[in-house]
Structure 1
Amino acid sequence: MSKLLVKPKDGHGLVTHITPQAADWEYVGFDLHKLRPADTVGAQTGDREICLVFVSGQGSVSIGGNDLGLLGERLSPFDGVPAAVYIPGGSNWQVTARSDVELAVCSAPDTVHNLPPRIIAPDNLSKETRGSGTNTRYVTNILPEDQPAQSLLVVEVITPGGHTSSYPPHKHDQDNLPHESRLEETYYHRLNPPQGFGFQRVYTDDRSLDEAMAVEDGDVTLVPRGYHPCAACHGYDLYYLNVMAGPRRTWKFHNAAEHEWLLDT
Protein backbone atom coordinates (compact mmCIF):
# COMPACT_ATOMS: atom_id res chain seq x y z
CA MET A 1 0.00 0.00 0.00
CA SER A 2 1.21 3.50 -0.80
CA LYS A 3 2.76 5.46 2.07
CA LEU A 4 0.56 8.35 0.93
CA LEU A 5 -2.67 6.44 1.65
CA VAL A 6 -3.96 6.39 5.24
CA LYS A 7 -6.74 3.94 6.08
CA PRO A 8 -9.12 4.64 8.99
CA LYS A 9 -9.36 2.47 12.06
CA ASP A 10 -12.55 0.48 12.56
CA GLY A 11 -15.14 1.55 15.09
CA HIS A 12 -15.67 4.84 16.90
CA GLY A 13 -13.47 7.43 18.53
CA LEU A 14 -10.30 8.70 16.88
CA VAL A 15 -10.23 6.73 13.63
CA THR A 16 -7.63 8.81 11.75
CA HIS A 17 -4.66 10.61 13.31
CA ILE A 18 -2.17 12.38 11.05
CA THR A 19 0.53 14.56 12.57
CA PRO A 20 3.23 16.48 10.71
CA GLN A 21 5.73 14.03 12.17
CA ALA A 22 3.82 10.99 10.91
CA ALA A 23 3.37 12.55 7.47
CA ASP A 24 7.05 13.55 7.36
CA TRP A 25 6.31 17.20 6.66
CA GLU A 26 6.05 20.52 8.54
CA TYR A 27 2.56 21.98 8.69
CA VAL A 28 -0.68 20.03 8.22
CA GLY A 29 -2.34 17.84 10.83
CA PHE A 30 -5.64 16.00 10.43
CA ASP A 31 -7.76 13.97 12.85
CA LEU A 32 -11.13 12.34 12.26
CA HIS A 33 -13.40 11.43 15.18
CA LYS A 34 -16.51 9.28 14.91
CA LEU A 35 -18.72 10.03 17.91
CA ARG A 36 -21.88 8.43 19.23
CA PRO A 37 -24.58 10.52 20.94
CA ALA A 38 -23.26 11.94 24.26
CA ASP A 39 -19.63 11.16 23.37
CA THR A 40 -17.24 14.01 24.17
CA VAL A 41 -13.88 14.89 22.65
CA GLY A 42 -11.61 17.84 23.30
CA ALA A 43 -8.03 19.04 23.48
CA GLN A 44 -5.66 21.91 24.10
CA THR A 45 -4.48 23.49 20.84
CA GLY A 46 -1.02 24.53 22.05
CA ASP A 47 0.92 26.20 19.23
CA ARG A 48 -1.52 25.06 16.56
CA GLU A 49 -4.70 26.60 15.24
CA ILE A 50 -7.54 24.26 14.31
CA CYS A 51 -10.67 24.24 12.24
CA LEU A 52 -13.37 21.88 13.47
CA VAL A 53 -15.56 20.67 10.62
CA PHE A 54 -18.80 18.82 11.25
CA VAL A 55 -18.59 16.47 8.28
CA SER A 56 -21.91 15.09 9.47
CA GLY A 57 -24.06 15.15 12.58
CA GLN A 58 -24.74 17.66 15.32
CA GLY A 59 -22.95 18.54 18.53
CA SER A 60 -22.37 21.27 21.09
CA VAL A 61 -19.05 23.13 21.09
CA SER A 62 -17.30 24.98 23.89
CA ILE A 63 -14.02 26.91 23.81
CA GLY A 64 -12.30 27.83 27.05
CA GLY A 65 -15.47 26.93 28.91
CA ASN A 66 -17.62 29.25 26.77
CA ASP A 67 -20.57 27.45 25.18
CA LEU A 68 -20.98 28.15 21.46
CA GLY A 69 -24.21 26.19 21.24
CA LEU A 70 -25.39 23.37 19.03
CA LEU A 71 -23.79 23.16 15.58
CA GLY A 72 -24.23 20.95 12.54
CA GLU A 73 -27.23 20.48 10.28
CA ARG A 74 -26.50 17.79 7.73
CA LEU A 75 -26.77 14.01 8.02
CA SER A 76 -24.04 13.29 5.47
CA PRO A 77 -21.33 15.24 3.64
CA PHE A 78 -23.42 14.87 0.46
CA ASP A 79 -26.37 16.72 1.98
CA GLY A 80 -25.93 20.49 2.35
CA VAL A 81 -23.04 22.48 3.75
CA PRO A 82 -21.04 21.98 6.96
CA ALA A 83 -20.80 23.86 10.22
CA ALA A 84 -17.26 24.70 11.29
CA VAL A 85 -15.38 26.49 14.06
CA TYR A 86 -12.05 28.30 13.96
CA ILE A 87 -10.00 27.95 17.16
CA PRO A 88 -6.62 29.70 17.62
CA GLY A 89 -3.56 28.37 19.36
CA GLY A 90 -3.49 28.50 23.13
CA SER A 91 -7.13 27.40 23.49
CA ASN A 92 -9.10 24.55 25.05
CA TRP A 93 -12.01 23.11 23.10
CA GLN A 94 -14.64 20.44 23.59
CA VAL A 95 -17.36 18.87 21.44
CA THR A 96 -20.23 16.76 22.80
CA ALA A 97 -22.20 14.83 20.21
CA ARG A 98 -25.99 15.21 20.07
CA SER A 99 -26.27 12.63 17.25
CA ASP A 100 -23.79 10.40 15.46
CA VAL A 101 -21.05 12.85 14.50
CA GLU A 102 -18.16 12.75 12.10
CA LEU A 103 -15.81 15.49 13.26
CA ALA A 104 -12.72 16.58 11.36
CA VAL A 105 -9.98 18.40 13.27
CA CYS A 106 -7.80 20.29 10.80
CA SER A 107 -4.64 21.87 12.22
CA ALA A 108 -1.59 23.96 11.34
CA PRO A 109 0.99 26.08 13.21
CA ASP A 110 -0.05 29.18 15.16
CA THR A 111 2.60 30.71 17.39
CA VAL A 112 0.94 34.16 17.48
CA HIS A 113 -2.42 33.31 19.11
CA ASN A 114 -3.85 36.72 18.18
CA LEU A 115 -7.13 35.73 16.48
CA PRO A 116 -10.40 35.14 18.33
CA PRO A 117 -12.31 31.85 18.02
CA ARG A 118 -15.37 32.04 15.81
CA ILE A 119 -18.20 29.97 14.39
CA ILE A 120 -18.04 29.52 10.62
CA ALA A 121 -21.77 29.27 10.00
CA PRO A 122 -23.23 27.54 6.93
CA ASP A 123 -24.77 30.83 5.77
CA ASN A 124 -21.31 32.41 5.65
CA LEU A 125 -19.70 29.78 3.43
CA SER A 126 -19.00 30.64 -0.19
CA LYS A 127 -19.86 28.06 -2.85
CA GLU A 128 -18.73 27.73 -6.43
CA THR A 129 -18.88 25.39 -9.39
CA ARG A 130 -15.58 24.64 -11.08
CA GLY A 131 -14.93 23.07 -14.46
CA SER A 132 -17.35 21.94 -17.13
CA GLY A 133 -18.62 18.70 -18.62
CA THR A 134 -17.15 15.67 -16.90
CA ASN A 135 -14.70 17.94 -15.08
CA THR A 136 -17.48 19.72 -13.16
CA ARG A 137 -17.24 19.70 -9.36
CA TYR A 138 -18.89 21.63 -6.54
CA VAL A 139 -16.77 23.53 -4.02
CA THR A 140 -17.56 24.89 -0.55
CA ASN A 141 -14.94 27.24 0.86
CA ILE A 142 -14.79 26.71 4.64
CA LEU A 143 -11.62 28.62 5.56
CA PRO A 144 -10.35 30.37 2.43
CA GLU A 145 -7.46 32.80 2.31
CA ASP A 146 -9.72 35.87 2.48
CA GLN A 147 -10.90 34.78 5.96
CA PRO A 148 -8.67 35.20 9.06
CA ALA A 149 -6.27 32.40 10.04
CA GLN A 150 -2.51 32.04 10.50
CA SER A 151 -1.76 29.01 8.32
CA LEU A 152 -4.87 26.96 7.60
CA LEU A 153 -6.81 26.70 4.34
CA VAL A 154 -9.85 24.37 4.40
CA VAL A 155 -12.23 23.50 1.57
CA GLU A 156 -14.57 20.66 0.65
CA VAL A 157 -15.47 19.39 -2.81
CA ILE A 158 -18.10 17.06 -4.24
CA THR A 159 -17.22 15.39 -7.54
CA PRO A 160 -20.12 13.60 -9.28
CA GLY A 161 -19.65 10.01 -10.36
CA GLY A 162 -17.79 9.72 -13.64
CA HIS A 163 -16.11 13.12 -13.23
CA THR A 164 -12.54 14.20 -12.58
CA SER A 165 -11.42 16.70 -9.94
CA SER A 166 -8.28 18.63 -9.00
CA TYR A 167 -7.93 18.46 -12.77
CA PRO A 168 -6.26 19.41 -15.06
CA PRO A 169 -3.44 18.31 -12.77
CA HIS A 170 -2.00 21.13 -10.70
CA LYS A 171 0.63 21.45 -8.00
CA HIS A 172 1.61 23.89 -5.25
CA ASP A 173 4.99 22.77 -3.95
CA GLN A 174 7.26 25.74 -4.70
CA ASP A 175 7.63 28.85 -2.54
CA ASN A 176 7.72 31.03 -5.64
CA LEU A 177 5.13 33.77 -5.25
CA PRO A 178 3.31 35.28 -7.02
CA HIS A 179 3.44 32.27 -9.36
CA GLU A 180 3.17 29.35 -6.94
CA SER A 181 2.90 28.77 -3.19
CA ARG A 182 4.21 25.82 -1.21
CA LEU A 183 1.34 24.03 0.50
CA GLU A 184 1.10 20.56 2.02
CA GLU A 185 -2.34 19.00 1.60
CA THR A 186 -4.54 16.19 2.86
CA TYR A 187 -7.62 14.77 1.16
CA TYR A 188 -10.26 13.11 3.35
CA HIS A 189 -12.39 11.00 1.01
CA ARG A 190 -16.00 9.85 1.31
CA LEU A 191 -18.03 7.92 -1.28
CA ASN A 192 -21.76 7.84 -1.97
CA PRO A 193 -22.89 5.04 -1.87
CA PRO A 194 -20.10 4.09 0.56
CA GLN A 195 -19.09 0.80 -1.10
CA GLY A 196 -17.68 2.74 -4.06
CA PHE A 197 -14.14 3.76 -4.82
CA GLY A 198 -12.26 6.42 -6.75
CA PHE A 199 -8.69 7.07 -7.79
CA GLN A 200 -6.02 9.63 -7.00
CA ARG A 201 -2.57 10.04 -8.47
CA VAL A 202 0.24 12.04 -6.83
CA TYR A 203 3.25 12.64 -9.06
CA THR A 204 6.04 15.07 -9.89
CA ASP A 205 7.38 16.20 -13.27
CA ASP A 206 10.50 14.05 -12.92
CA ARG A 207 8.43 11.09 -11.57
CA SER A 208 10.63 10.84 -8.49
CA LEU A 209 7.22 10.66 -6.81
CA ASP A 210 4.53 8.80 -8.73
CA GLU A 211 1.80 7.05 -6.73
CA ALA A 212 -1.61 5.94 -8.06
CA MET A 213 -4.09 4.97 -5.33
CA ALA A 214 -7.58 3.50 -5.18
CA VAL A 215 -9.40 5.51 -2.51
CA GLU A 216 -12.29 4.10 -0.51
CA ASP A 217 -14.78 5.60 1.92
CA GLY A 218 -12.92 7.15 4.87
CA ASP A 219 -9.42 7.11 3.35
CA VAL A 220 -7.01 10.03 3.61
CA THR A 221 -4.40 10.77 0.98
CA LEU A 222 -1.27 12.85 1.63
CA VAL A 223 0.05 15.32 -0.91
CA PRO A 224 3.53 16.43 0.18
CA ARG A 225 4.36 17.72 -3.32
CA GLY A 226 3.46 17.23 -6.95
CA TYR A 227 0.28 17.03 -9.00
CA HIS A 228 -2.71 15.27 -7.41
CA PRO A 229 -5.76 14.70 -9.68
CA CYS A 230 -8.77 12.58 -8.62
CA ALA A 231 -11.36 10.55 -10.52
CA ALA A 232 -14.79 9.44 -9.29
CA CYS A 233 -16.01 6.17 -10.74
CA HIS A 234 -19.39 5.97 -12.49
CA GLY A 235 -22.26 5.61 -10.02
CA TYR A 236 -20.32 6.89 -6.99
CA ASP A 237 -20.08 10.53 -6.00
CA LEU A 238 -16.78 11.50 -4.37
CA TYR A 239 -16.54 13.96 -1.46
CA TYR A 240 -13.24 15.21 -0.15
CA LEU A 241 -12.21 17.62 2.58
CA ASN A 242 -8.94 19.41 1.82
CA VAL A 243 -6.61 20.81 4.46
CA MET A 244 -3.68 22.94 3.26
CA ALA A 245 -0.93 24.87 5.00
CA GLY A 246 2.56 26.10 4.25
CA PRO A 247 5.00 28.92 4.91
CA ARG A 248 2.66 31.49 3.32
CA ARG A 249 -1.11 31.38 3.55
CA THR A 250 -2.13 31.69 -0.09
CA TRP A 251 -3.19 29.18 -2.77
CA LYS A 252 -1.25 29.77 -5.97
CA PHE A 253 -0.96 26.69 -8.16
CA HIS A 254 0.83 25.62 -11.31
CA ASN A 255 -0.94 23.53 -13.94
CA ALA A 256 0.81 20.63 -15.64
CA ALA A 257 1.92 22.19 -18.93
CA GLU A 258 1.08 19.16 -21.09
CA HIS A 259 -2.55 19.18 -19.86
CA GLU A 260 -3.18 22.91 -19.79
CA TRP A 261 -4.82 22.74 -23.23
CA LEU A 262 -7.83 21.21 -21.49
CA LEU A 263 -8.65 24.61 -20.01
CA ASP A 264 -9.30 25.92 -23.53
CA THR A 265 -11.98 23.31 -24.20
Structure 2
Amino acid sequence: MPNRTLLARSRTNAEGNDPVVQVTPQSAGWTYTGFEVYRLKEGECFSLDRPGLEQAVIVLEGTCHVSASGERFSSVGSRTSVFDNQSPEAVYCPPGAAIEVEAVTRTEVAVASAVTEEGEGPVRRITPADIPYEERGEGSTRRYIRHILDEHHPAKKLLLVEVLTPSGNWSSYPPHKHDTESENEAYLEETYYHRLNPSQGQAWQRVYDKQGLDEVLTPSDGDVVLVPKGYHPVGVPVGFDSYYLNVMAGHNRTWKFQIDSNFKHIAPKDGNIMGKVEQGK
Protein backbone atom coordinates (compact mmCIF):
# COMPACT_ATOMS: atom_id res chain seq x y z
CA MET A 1 0.00 0.00 0.00
CA PRO A 2 1.81 3.17 -1.16
CA ASN A 3 2.23 6.18 1.10
CA ARG A 4 -0.07 8.41 -0.94
CA THR A 5 -3.11 6.34 0.03
CA LEU A 6 -2.46 6.84 3.74
CA LEU A 7 -1.63 10.57 3.82
CA ALA A 8 -3.99 13.32 2.68
CA ARG A 9 -2.15 16.63 2.44
CA SER A 10 -3.94 19.86 3.29
CA ARG A 11 -4.37 22.66 0.75
CA THR A 12 -3.33 25.90 2.41
CA ASN A 13 -5.04 28.07 -0.22
CA ALA A 14 -8.52 26.54 0.31
CA GLU A 15 -11.14 28.67 2.07
CA GLY A 16 -14.86 29.15 2.43
CA ASN A 17 -16.92 26.19 1.23
CA ASP A 18 -13.84 24.55 -0.27
CA PRO A 19 -12.45 22.00 2.25
CA VAL A 20 -8.83 22.35 3.27
CA VAL A 21 -8.54 18.57 3.44
CA GLN A 22 -11.11 15.86 2.73
CA VAL A 23 -11.34 12.11 3.12
CA THR A 24 -14.35 10.12 1.92
CA PRO A 25 -15.00 6.38 2.08
CA GLN A 26 -14.49 6.34 -1.69
CA SER A 27 -11.12 8.15 -1.59
CA ALA A 28 -9.94 6.04 1.37
CA GLY A 29 -11.12 2.74 -0.09
CA TRP A 30 -13.06 1.74 3.01
CA THR A 31 -16.69 1.59 4.15
CA TYR A 32 -17.68 4.10 6.82
CA THR A 33 -15.44 7.01 7.83
CA GLY A 34 -15.33 10.48 6.31
CA PHE A 35 -13.58 13.65 7.42
CA GLU A 36 -13.06 17.21 6.19
CA VAL A 37 -11.93 20.61 7.47
CA TYR A 38 -13.14 24.09 6.52
CA ARG A 39 -11.44 27.41 7.32
CA LEU A 40 -13.82 30.35 7.26
CA LYS A 41 -13.38 34.10 7.48
CA GLU A 42 -15.87 36.15 9.48
CA GLY A 43 -19.26 36.01 7.74
CA GLU A 44 -18.41 33.10 5.43
CA CYS A 45 -20.71 30.07 5.28
CA PHE A 46 -20.84 26.52 4.02
CA SER A 47 -23.69 24.04 3.84
CA LEU A 48 -23.93 20.26 3.57
CA ASP A 49 -26.91 18.10 2.67
CA ARG A 50 -25.83 14.46 2.58
CA PRO A 51 -28.38 11.72 3.23
CA GLY A 52 -27.11 8.47 4.68
CA LEU A 53 -24.44 10.05 6.86
CA GLU A 54 -24.24 10.51 10.61
CA GLN A 55 -22.22 13.71 11.07
CA ALA A 56 -20.64 15.86 13.75
CA VAL A 57 -19.52 19.47 13.33
CA ILE A 58 -16.51 20.11 15.59
CA VAL A 59 -15.50 23.74 16.06
CA LEU A 60 -11.74 23.47 16.37
CA GLU A 61 -10.97 27.20 16.54
CA GLY A 62 -13.11 30.34 16.55
CA THR A 63 -16.86 30.79 16.87
CA CYS A 64 -19.70 30.04 14.45
CA HIS A 65 -23.45 29.51 14.23
CA VAL A 66 -24.50 25.96 13.32
CA SER A 67 -27.96 25.14 11.94
CA ALA A 68 -29.29 21.62 11.31
CA SER A 69 -32.79 20.14 10.93
CA GLY A 70 -34.42 23.44 11.80
CA GLU A 71 -32.36 23.90 14.98
CA ARG A 72 -29.98 26.86 15.26
CA PHE A 73 -27.11 26.81 17.72
CA SER A 74 -25.61 30.26 18.20
CA SER A 75 -21.98 31.08 18.94
CA VAL A 76 -20.63 27.53 19.00
CA GLY A 77 -16.96 27.37 20.03
CA SER A 78 -14.81 29.74 22.05
CA ARG A 79 -11.17 28.75 21.85
CA THR A 80 -8.66 30.57 19.66
CA SER A 81 -6.41 27.55 19.05
CA VAL A 82 -6.61 23.77 19.28
CA PHE A 83 -3.69 24.14 21.70
CA ASP A 84 -5.75 26.14 24.19
CA ASN A 85 -6.35 24.35 27.48
CA GLN A 86 -10.07 23.89 26.95
CA SER A 87 -12.48 21.55 25.22
CA PRO A 88 -14.08 22.25 21.86
CA GLU A 89 -17.79 22.47 21.16
CA ALA A 90 -19.56 20.33 18.60
CA VAL A 91 -22.98 19.63 17.11
CA TYR A 92 -24.19 16.06 16.55
CA CYS A 93 -26.32 15.56 13.42
CA PRO A 94 -28.17 12.30 12.68
CA PRO A 95 -28.64 11.14 9.07
CA GLY A 96 -30.89 13.40 7.05
CA ALA A 97 -29.87 16.61 8.82
CA ALA A 98 -28.99 19.40 6.39
CA ILE A 99 -26.18 21.48 7.92
CA GLU A 100 -25.24 25.15 7.59
CA VAL A 101 -22.26 26.78 9.30
CA GLU A 102 -21.78 30.57 9.47
CA ALA A 103 -18.54 31.99 10.87
CA VAL A 104 -18.79 34.66 13.57
CA THR A 105 -14.99 34.97 13.76
CA ARG A 106 -12.17 33.36 11.84
CA THR A 107 -13.12 29.74 12.31
CA GLU A 108 -11.74 26.28 11.67
CA VAL A 109 -14.43 23.61 11.57
CA ALA A 110 -14.08 19.84 11.15
CA VAL A 111 -16.92 17.65 9.89
CA ALA A 112 -16.72 13.98 10.85
CA SER A 113 -19.06 11.52 9.16
CA ALA A 114 -19.99 7.86 9.10
CA VAL A 115 -22.09 5.99 6.57
CA THR A 116 -25.34 4.82 8.20
CA GLU A 117 -29.06 5.23 7.69
CA GLU A 118 -29.70 5.48 11.44
CA GLY A 119 -28.71 7.92 14.15
CA GLU A 120 -29.18 8.18 17.91
CA GLY A 121 -31.47 11.00 18.96
CA PRO A 122 -32.02 14.45 17.50
CA VAL A 123 -29.57 17.18 16.56
CA ARG A 124 -27.83 18.37 19.72
CA ARG A 125 -25.05 20.64 20.92
CA ILE A 126 -22.07 19.05 22.66
CA THR A 127 -20.61 21.49 25.20
CA PRO A 128 -17.29 21.35 27.09
CA ALA A 129 -19.22 20.14 30.15
CA ASP A 130 -20.25 17.06 28.13
CA ILE A 131 -16.67 16.13 27.19
CA PRO A 132 -14.63 13.95 29.58
CA TYR A 133 -10.94 14.84 29.96
CA GLU A 134 -8.25 12.19 30.38
CA GLU A 135 -4.56 12.19 31.26
CA ARG A 136 -3.01 9.07 29.74
CA GLY A 137 0.48 7.60 29.97
CA GLU A 138 3.50 8.57 32.04
CA GLY A 139 6.76 10.40 31.32
CA SER A 140 7.49 10.37 27.59
CA THR A 141 4.12 8.75 26.82
CA ARG A 142 2.05 11.39 28.65
CA ARG A 143 -0.75 12.93 26.56
CA TYR A 144 -4.09 14.64 27.20
CA ILE A 145 -7.35 13.43 25.70
CA ARG A 146 -10.79 14.97 25.31
CA HIS A 147 -13.58 12.49 24.55
CA ILE A 148 -15.86 14.53 22.30
CA LEU A 149 -18.13 11.64 21.31
CA ASP A 150 -17.24 8.36 23.00
CA GLU A 151 -19.13 5.15 23.69
CA HIS A 152 -21.01 6.81 26.56
CA HIS A 153 -22.46 9.51 24.28
CA PRO A 154 -25.40 8.58 22.03
CA ALA A 155 -24.47 7.99 18.38
CA LYS A 156 -24.85 5.13 15.93
CA LYS A 157 -21.36 4.91 14.41
CA LEU A 158 -19.13 7.89 15.20
CA LEU A 159 -16.40 7.95 17.85
CA LEU A 160 -14.45 11.23 18.25
CA VAL A 161 -11.51 12.16 20.47
CA GLU A 162 -8.83 14.84 20.35
CA VAL A 163 -5.35 14.40 21.78
CA LEU A 164 -2.64 16.87 22.85
CA THR A 165 0.86 15.38 23.03
CA PRO A 166 3.76 17.42 24.44
CA SER A 167 7.08 17.99 22.69
CA GLY A 168 9.23 14.87 22.44
CA ASN A 169 6.53 12.43 23.57
CA TRP A 170 4.91 9.34 22.06
CA SER A 171 1.19 8.99 21.50
CA SER A 172 -1.19 6.20 20.44
CA TYR A 173 1.29 4.18 22.44
CA PRO A 174 1.93 1.31 23.07
CA PRO A 175 1.08 0.56 19.42
CA HIS A 176 -2.41 -0.94 19.13
CA LYS A 177 -4.78 -1.96 16.36
CA HIS A 178 -8.53 -2.33 15.81
CA ASP A 179 -9.02 -3.92 12.39
CA THR A 180 -10.83 -7.23 13.02
CA GLU A 181 -14.04 -8.27 14.76
CA SER A 182 -13.54 -10.54 17.75
CA GLU A 183 -14.33 -10.74 21.44
CA ASN A 184 -11.36 -8.50 22.22
CA GLU A 185 -11.16 -6.28 19.14
CA ALA A 186 -13.43 -4.17 16.96
CA TYR A 187 -13.10 -3.13 13.32
CA LEU A 188 -12.75 0.67 13.25
CA GLU A 189 -11.53 2.82 10.35
CA GLU A 190 -9.68 5.85 11.67
CA THR A 191 -8.43 9.24 10.55
CA TYR A 192 -5.86 11.43 12.33
CA TYR A 193 -6.09 15.17 11.65
CA HIS A 194 -2.69 16.56 12.68
CA ARG A 195 -1.84 20.06 13.87
CA LEU A 196 1.61 21.21 15.08
CA ASN A 197 2.78 24.08 17.25
CA PRO A 198 4.79 25.82 15.86
CA SER A 199 3.04 25.06 12.59
CA GLN A 200 6.20 24.52 10.51
CA GLY A 201 6.83 21.20 12.25
CA GLN A 202 5.93 17.66 11.41
CA ALA A 203 5.02 14.50 13.30
CA TRP A 204 5.90 10.89 12.59
CA GLN A 205 3.28 8.18 12.36
CA ARG A 206 3.94 4.55 11.54
CA VAL A 207 1.11 2.37 10.19
CA TYR A 208 2.05 -1.30 10.12
CA ASP A 209 0.88 -4.87 10.63
CA LYS A 210 2.50 -8.30 10.73
CA GLN A 211 1.43 -9.15 7.17
CA GLY A 212 3.59 -6.69 5.21
CA LEU A 213 2.02 -3.25 5.67
CA ASP A 214 4.72 -0.89 6.94
CA GLU A 215 4.51 2.83 6.19
CA VAL A 216 6.23 5.70 8.03
CA LEU A 217 4.40 8.95 7.35
CA THR A 218 5.40 12.54 8.13
CA PRO A 219 2.22 14.60 8.48
CA SER A 220 2.63 18.36 8.51
CA ASP A 221 0.26 20.86 10.09
CA GLY A 222 -3.22 20.26 8.66
CA ASP A 223 -2.60 16.83 7.11
CA VAL A 224 -4.66 13.68 7.67
CA VAL A 225 -3.29 10.17 8.17
CA LEU A 226 -5.58 7.28 7.25
CA VAL A 227 -5.51 4.09 9.32
CA PRO A 228 -7.42 1.34 7.46
CA LYS A 229 -5.75 -1.38 9.52
CA GLY A 230 -2.70 -2.15 11.61
CA TYR A 231 -0.87 -0.50 14.50
CA HIS A 232 -0.41 3.29 14.31
CA PRO A 233 1.83 5.00 16.92
CA VAL A 234 2.66 8.72 16.73
CA GLY A 235 6.01 10.34 17.57
CA VAL A 236 6.34 14.07 18.27
CA PRO A 237 9.73 15.74 17.65
CA VAL A 238 11.38 17.87 20.31
CA GLY A 239 10.47 21.54 19.92
CA PHE A 240 6.90 20.98 18.73
CA ASP A 241 3.62 20.15 20.43
CA SER A 242 1.16 17.88 18.67
CA TYR A 243 -2.62 17.95 18.37
CA TYR A 244 -4.69 15.41 16.53
CA LEU A 245 -8.39 14.76 16.11
CA ASN A 246 -9.41 11.13 15.70
CA VAL A 247 -12.53 10.02 13.85
CA MET A 248 -13.45 6.33 14.06
CA ALA A 249 -16.35 4.31 12.68
CA GLY A 250 -16.89 0.63 11.99
CA HIS A 251 -19.30 -2.28 12.07
CA ASN A 252 -20.03 -1.81 15.77
CA ARG A 253 -19.60 1.29 17.91
CA THR A 254 -17.12 0.04 20.48
CA TRP A 255 -13.44 0.80 21.04
CA LYS A 256 -11.78 -2.58 21.56
CA PHE A 257 -8.15 -2.97 20.53
CA GLN A 258 -5.14 -5.26 20.64
CA ILE A 259 -1.65 -4.08 21.67
CA ASP A 260 1.31 -5.17 19.56
CA SER A 261 2.71 -8.18 21.41
CA ASN A 262 6.24 -6.80 21.00
CA PHE A 263 5.28 -3.94 23.34
CA LYS A 264 3.34 -5.80 26.01
CA HIS A 265 6.24 -5.50 28.45
CA ILE A 266 5.46 -1.78 28.75
CA ALA A 267 1.67 -2.08 28.69
CA PRO A 268 -0.48 -2.19 31.84
CA LYS A 269 -0.92 -5.76 33.04
CA ASP A 270 -4.68 -5.60 32.59
CA GLY A 271 -4.26 -4.30 29.01
CA ASN A 272 -6.20 -1.13 29.81
CA ILE A 273 -4.26 1.91 28.57
CA MET A 274 -6.89 4.40 29.77
CA GLY A 275 -5.72 6.94 32.33
CA LYS A 276 -7.45 9.24 34.79
CA VAL A 277 -10.74 10.50 33.34
CA GLU A 278 -12.60 13.56 34.64
CA GLN A 279 -15.97 14.76 33.45
CA GLY A 280 -16.18 18.08 31.63
CA LYS A 281 -12.83 19.63 32.51
Q: TM-score, normalised by structure 1?
A: 0.96
Q: What is aligned with 1:67?
A: 72
Residue 191 of structure 1 is matched in structure 2 by 196
Structure 1 pair 159–113 and aligned structure 2 pair: CA distance change class (3 A): closer
**Residue from 37, 40, 43 that aligns with 2:45:** 40
CA distance in 1, matches of 2:120, 2:195: 34
Distance, in Å, in 1 between the alignment partners of 2:194 and 2:22 is 15
- Do 2:54 and 2:118's aligned partners in 1 also have CA atoms closer than 8 Å? no
Aligned partner of residue 218 in structure 2, secondary structure: strand
Report the equivalent of 1:140: 146
Render the CA deviation track for 1:61-98: whole Å, top value 9, x for unaligned: 11123211111010010002101110000111111001
Measure, in 1, the Cα distance between the counterparts of 2:119 and 2:254: 19
TM value normalised by structure 2: 0.91
Q: Which residue of 2 aligns with 1:222?
A: 226
User: Could you tell me which of 3, 6, 25 is aligned with 1:4?
Assistant: 6
CA change 1:112–1:135 in 2 (3 A) is same
Cα deviation for residue 160 of structure 1 reads 0.3
**Counterpart for residue 201 of structure 1:** 206
- The question of 1:210 aligning with 2:214 is answered yes
Confirm whether residue 92 of structure 1 aligns to residue 101 of structure 2: no
Partner residue, 2:277? none
Whole-Å separation in 2 of the counterparts to 1:63 and 1:113: 14
Q: Is residue 131 of structure 2 the alignment partner of residue 131 of structure 1?
A: no
Report the 3-state secondary structure (helix = DSSP H, G, I; strand = E; otherwise coil) of the residue aligned with 1:180.
Answer: coil
Q: Give the stretch that moved more between structures: 123-132 or 8-17.
A: 8-17
Aligned-partner residue type, residue 7 of structure 2: L
Aligned length: 263
Q: Per-residue displacement from partner, 1:128-165 (whole Å, max 9, x unpaired)?
A: 00100100000000000111101000000000010000
Match of 1:156 among 123, 147, 162: 162
Question: Could you tell me how far 1:264 is from its partner in structure 2?
Answer: 5.1
Which residue of 2 is the match for residue 232 of structure 1? 236
Q: Within 1, Cα distance between the matches of 2:34 and 2:207?
A: 19
- What is the DSSP-based 3-state SS (H/G/I as helix, E as strand, rest coil) of the residue aligned with 2:5? coil
State the match for 1:180 in structure 2: 185
Contact 1:45–1:88 (8 Å) recurs in 2: no
Q: Distance in 2 between matches of 1:55 and 1:10?
A: 16
Distance in 1 separating the partners of 2:136 and 2:87: 17
Query: 1:16-64: CA deviations, max 9, x gaps?
Result: 1111000000000001101111000111131111011011110011112
- Contact 2:143–2:171 under 8 Å retained in 1: yes
Q: Is the 8 A contact 1:51 1:85 kept in 2?
A: yes
User: Could you say if the C-alpha distance between residues 160 and 65 of structure 1 is closer, same or farther in structure 2, counting changes exceeding 3 Å?
Assistant: same
Q: Percent identity, please.
A: 44
**Equivalent position to 1:245, from 228, 249, 259:** 249
Q: Is the 8 Å Cα contact of residues 183 and 246 (structure 1) preserved in structure 2?
A: yes
Could you tell me how far apart the structure 1 residues matched to 2:83 and 2:153 are?
24
SS at match of 2:154: coil
